[in-house]
Each structure stands twice: as C-alpha cells, then as structure tokens.
A and B are shown apart, each in its own frame.
Chain A
C-alpha cells in the first residue's frame, strides 16, 4: 500500500454489532419475540431439570414402596414449585412448538396471524399452568 493511502485519516464510522446483553432493556421485543426467547428458556429449564424428572419417574413406577416415597417428595411445597416450573416449561414449549410446526407448513406466517398466535401461545400455556398449579396445591 502506498504512503498516500495510508495517510488518509480514519473516520469513526458507526458499527452495528450484535446486541450485547446489557443493551437488552433498550429493546422492546414483539410478542412473537417473547414467545421465541421463552421457547429457548423453557427448553433449557427442562434440560436442566431432566435428572429430577427422571428420578421422580423412576420412583413412581419401580415399586409400591417407591411410589409412596415419590408421593411424599411430590407433596413437599418446594418440590411442588419445581414441578410447577416444569409444567409451565412443558406447556410453553409444547404450545410454541405446535406454533412452530404450523409455521413450518406455511400456516399463519403473516405479521398479524403470527402476533395473534403468539398471544394464544402465551395465554393458553399460562392458563393450563395455572390449572395444574391449582390442582397441585389442592385448591380443587
């Protein structure tokens, strides 16, 4: 490269990089975006709680004695809270997953339908979680 070119002063041009985590509060996610990130969070949550779920499943099917033990664990309020988190994650992931599958076959792809289905996913999963939660904590 010649000296002449190298002498040209560099201007500070704006850089557009990926969003940093500290900038997240400055962005307002659309509802479809909220469903998208919740899909990831709920999926990760279920992966993290996989040993707990498998352990409970093992207790529940192995024998009558272990079933009683499973019942004892599942009756504790903290275990119920974790179970409720699992239930929410399952409902959210399930509903958003069905939405994904429908969109894969080009169903409800336009902006308006996508927004409506995002609202439905959030509402239905929260409603189902609330129902299971009420049952879990013995309201009905």
Chain B
C-alpha cells in the first residue's frame, strides 16, 4: 500500500484483513506441501520403520522446528477456514461468535499440545 494516502487520498474503507488471511492461508498451504514432501521422502528412502526410526526423525532439532512451524501454520490455516465456515452457515451473531471463540481457543490449546508432544521426543 502507498504511504501517501493522507488527506483527500485517505483510504476510508477496508481493514485488509481479508487479504492478509487469504495470503496467510496460501503461505501456510505451501509450507504444509513442503512438510508433506519431506515426510514422504524420508518415508520412501527410510529403512527403519520401527519406533526408533520414527522417533529418531522427530528427535532432530531441525525437524522439530520444521514440524512446529508447519503445525502452527496448520492451525492458522484451520482458523481461516473454520471462520469462513462459521461466517457462511451460522446466521445468529451470538452463536457464531461463541463458535469462533471456541475454535480459536481450541486451536491455541492444540498448538500448546503440539509443542509438548514434539519436545517430549
């Protein structure tokens, strides 16, 4: 956006959160595609399919970080999608707000849970 939108050029409408969410959903989608590809490659080139092989993958620091970033992206992605679903199908404002807050709190809880799982390996 240009910086000279002052005075008569002031942009009156649009918080642009729609564009931000749209873009965030695309970026997180690409991250998840890359993560899926990484998992697939490690699966196809792997030879140890016991617990050691599986946990060994998640024991590496770089993979923990890649996982946590992907999962956080997934939760943001899910938030955008679920918010769209509630906005489209739930007409009552009170019920919709309740569902949206519940979704958000639940996804934050899932994010904390994911951190706990990943750093317990």
Chain A residues in contact with chain B, CB under 8 A? 40, 43-44, 46-47, 50-51, 54, 57-58, 60-62, 64, 67, 94, 97-98, 100-101, 104
Q: B79-117, CB under 8 A of A: which get 1 and which 0?
A: 001100100000000000000000000000010011001
Chain A's interface: helix, strand, loop or mixed, by majority?
helix
Cross-interface CB contact of A54 among B29, B78, B82, B114, cutoff 8 Å? B114
Cα-based distance from A40 to B89 in the complex (angstroms): 12
Given contacts A54-B113, A61-B117, A97-B33, 17 further A-B contacts (CB under 8 A): A40-B81, A40-B85, A43-B85, A44-B81, A44-B82, A46-B78, A54-B114, A54-B117, A61-B54, A62-B120, A67-B51, A67-B55, A94-B36, A97-B29, A98-B33, A101-B29, A104-B26
B120–chain A nearest beta-carbon distance, Å: 6
Interface residue range, chain B: 10 to 19
Chain B's interface: helix, strand, loop or mixed, by majority?
helix
- Enumerate 11 A-B pairs (CB-CB under 8 Å) in ascending A order: A44-B81, A44-B82, A58-B120, A60-B54, A61-B58, A61-B117, A62-B117, A62-B120, A67-B55, A97-B33, A101-B29
Q: Which residue of B lies closest to A43 (CB)?
A: B81
Cross-interface CB contact of A47 among B55, B78, B113, B120, cutoff 8 Å? B78
For the complex of A and B, list the 9 residue pairs with the smallest distance between their C-beta atoms, beginning with the closest: A67-B51, A58-B117, A61-B121, A43-B81, A64-B51, A61-B55, A61-B58, A47-B78, A97-B29
